[in-house]
Structure 1
């Protein structure tokens, strides 16, 4: 059969979606909620509707085999460092270019179009959302497939354990998303049920990830070994990648230290993480988050988009500890895009700026330059200040990447006091920023640390 090849991605307005009446909207929303409950039930290793048996493990991912509607299905489980808020933000149903699949599974998901938004996050349910989307999929072993899916996510409670779940299920919407096989050759696959469930782990600072994928790709002519590759190896790698995706998200959402705040290389003879001594030929590298000097084994290079349009990216070195350190839940708000914060305003809400972990009886506002804001992070890079963006001039040499709402305000008094307090007074900041060139940066930082130690006593 001859057909016209469809150029992907399709242009905006390719799908004509008539408005849904209230009855249809409620029906689709309820279908999404039922699918979410079904996913939570079927991903339970014990006590769920599917009896799971251990199949194998690969690189920290445990794979379980079960039978659902007489069809073999696989459940993948792993434990990673992170929080439920981080997981919810990662999986957030945002615009098409912020879609999780489009962002992190671009090798398979080549196009995403939002057809209907049925439910959006609210103050009471910040992670709840239900949408209808069309996706185009490409693999090495078959022609392009497409799916029309109902995508629902929300916070859940599983046997007393808090969690977050995101499910996908095929939905028939011929009036808005007709079958494209005859005109364009796209075979319509069926997602029986798929998605992810994140549960708070008994291990502090970790979450447990469950991923279920039950898809009919309509690939009857595909060899058995290809089915095995798609069903086991490829999907297992996707689960392994969630940890790296969370690390990338943390790096994108927190500020980088300016070069002047980094620990001088010559002052370190051992790696700050593994404590191995640097040899004569060893390469010393700065972590741009904490400023410490680390070895090749204790850091990784990360690509970070520089600007809201993501027209260019820069490479930064970040140590493994900083990339694995979960961000505060208050930063994980529903995303509205990546913002380049050019000038920031630190707003104190009941916080004493001279001691960020002490309550203050008054509220105050103080606007700082980009350098001052960056150097505030020098005080404690593990517990940074959070900024409110404003429209001012930029400093291309010191990009600060933030994502989500433009207003991040956190009561730092609610955060745990750091083990090694190093807050810096504004007078001390002024000394660091405007010191004479002949004055040693280490000497200033040492004096600041000594003053802080006295202040905490």
Structure 2
């Protein structure tokens, strides 16, 4: 069984025949019906669903087996995350070869490979974010099982809710097409079926916070005990939690690449800026990549900048991590965080109006001090979470 995340696709994928007009209209009709059915299933709140618990900050529910196919047990998950629809759409749309390659390299979770076989419906001026495509992808399964591949009709759409807030969803429904034959002999994968499955993102009453709902009705096919089927589906539903962490990592990378921050020399600090514990041989010093100050290991978190040239992990303090998590990517460039980065950087000492006006002192003797206003803004962003040990 192959374990590579880049599978050798058959040649038919590269030269798939275009759809005829009758086929395209038929798939467009199926996509519209499947999208409405998915929304109805994902947003339904019924007492017959059993709460399984929280996994990776995702609340997972299990529904009753479908009457039409008792091998399919539906699962759904829900969570709230700091993010915008634009960020989610940029991360999950996967409409171009570059986007799919970036997904495979950086923030893919549980998807071994994917490809778009047909573009059924292109966006219009009236509906610029609506896409209907035929997508093939391979879902990872634990050993010794074969991985499962799917050929689905995927619909992406954005719309306005009655209260004026926006929503965006991805709905997937399995289809059978000659351009996507069974690939068990080629790739050692088993063709599964997926119905009324996908993700819904709703803007909440809190600005910058999205409510996320996932719904999966999947037949993994092949011989498999029911307990293993449930374990696999539960794990895949809970994997939507990676969306929140990935958005946060992109925001950190955006901040890291947007500002030049002069790092405070490690020799100038004898105590951690946050916990105030003294540095010694076992408590090493680390610079925060966004503000430049010096912290201990426990008061910083590690992240790998997505899309950044360097592959080395970066360290970010808890203050900056929490602040960036609660901002949108676009506002990071505009809000007070840019001022805080500069004020906390020693390279800004000679220009910052918030330092003590001691023009008679030599530049090398001026001390780094935040103004009271800057300190209040910084503490306001972090005082609600005293632990802040990770992001």
Of 163, 168, 180, 1:164 maps to 168
**Distance in 2 of aligned mates of 1:194 and 1:267:** 55
The residue number in structure 1 matching 2:134 is 132
Which runs of structure 2 are paired with 1:271-350 in the superposition (5 Å)? 275-281=274-280, 282-304=283-305, 313-319=311-317, 320-321=321-322, 323-328=324-329
Residue by residue, what CA displacement relative to the aligned partner does 1:223-268 show, whole Å, maximum 9, x if unpaired? Answer: 2332232022x22541222221112222344443777623444666
CA contact (8 A) 1:79 1:206 kept: yes
The residue number in structure 1 matching 2:8 is 9
The residue number in structure 1 matching 2:24 is 25
Report the CA distance between 1:419 and its aligned residue.
8.7
**Distance in 1 of aligned mates of 2:251 and 2:11:** 31
Aligned residues: 344
Residue by residue, what CA displacement relative to the aligned partner does 1:338-380 show, whole Å, maximum 9, x if unpaired? Answer: xxxxxxxxxxxxxxxxxxxxxxxxxxxxxxxxxxxxxxxxxxx
CA contact (8 A) 1:79 1:208 kept: yes
The residue number in structure 1 matching 2:354 is none
CA contact (8 A) 2:250 2:305 kept: no
The residue number in structure 1 matching 2:55 is 58
**Distance in 1 of aligned mates of 2:214 and 2:166:** 17
Of 66, 69, 80, 1:69 maps to 66
**Distance in 2 of aligned mates of 1:18 and 1:159:** 41
**Distance in 1 of aligned mates of 2:340 and 2:196:** 49
**Distance in 2 of aligned mates of 1:244 and 1:17:** 36
Of 187, 191, 194, 2:190 maps to 187
CA contact (8 A) 2:286 2:297 kept: yes
CA contact (8 A) 1:90 1:249 kept: no
Report the CA distance between 1:317 and its aligned residue.
1.8
Report the CA distance between 1:11 and its aligned residue.
6.3
The residue number in structure 2 matching 1:346 is none
**Distance in 1 of aligned mates of 2:206 and 2:32:** 29
Q: Check 1:293–1:40 CA distance in 2 against 1; reply closer, same or farther (3 A cut).
A: farther
**Distance in 2 of aligned mates of 1:33 and 1:441:** 69
Report the CA distance between 1:63 and its aligned residue.
1.5
The residue number in structure 2 matching 1:116 is 118
**Distance in 2 of aligned mates of 1:153 and 1:20:** 19
Q: Check 1:188–1:291 CA distance in 2 against 1; reply closer, same or farther (3 A cut).
A: same
**Distance in 2 of aligned mates of 1:286 and 1:122:** 48
Residue by residue, what CA displacement relative to the aligned partner does 1:152-185 show, whole Å, maximum 9, x if unpaired? Answer: 21213455342211122212112x1122345665
CA contact (8 A) 2:324 2:332 kept: no
**Distance in 2 of aligned mates of 1:105 and 1:218:** 27
The residue number in structure 2 matching 1:214 is 217
**Distance in 2 of aligned mates of 1:138 and 1:259:** 40
Residue by residue, what CA displacement relative to the aligned partner does 1:161-217 show, whole Å, maximum 9, x if unpaired? Answer: 42211122212112x112234566532111112211111223443211111111111
Gaps of 5+ in 1: 1-6, 332-381, 385-411, 433-437, 453-457
CA contact (8 A) 2:172 2:197 kept: yes
Task: Give SS of 2:198's match.
Answer: strand
Task: Give SS of 1:94's match.
Answer: coil
CA contact (8 A) 2:106 2:306 kept: no
Report the CA distance between 1:313 and its aligned residue.
2.2
TM-score, normalised with respect to structure 2: 0.72
- Is residue 231 of structure 1 aligned with residue 230 of structure 2? no
CA contact (8 A) 1:138 1:144 kept: yes
- Cα RMSD (Å): 3.9
Q: Check 1:146–1:422 CA distance in 2 against 1; reply closer, same or farther (3 A cut).
A: closer
TM-score, normalised with respect to structure 1: 0.63
- Is residue 383 of structure 1 aligned with residue 382 of structure 2? no
Report the CA distance between 1:59 and its aligned residue.
4.2
Report the CA distance between 1:148 and its aligned residue.
0.9
Residue by residue, what CA displacement relative to the aligned partner does 1:30-53 show, whole Å, maximum 9, x if unpaired? Answer: 43333333222212153x8x9544
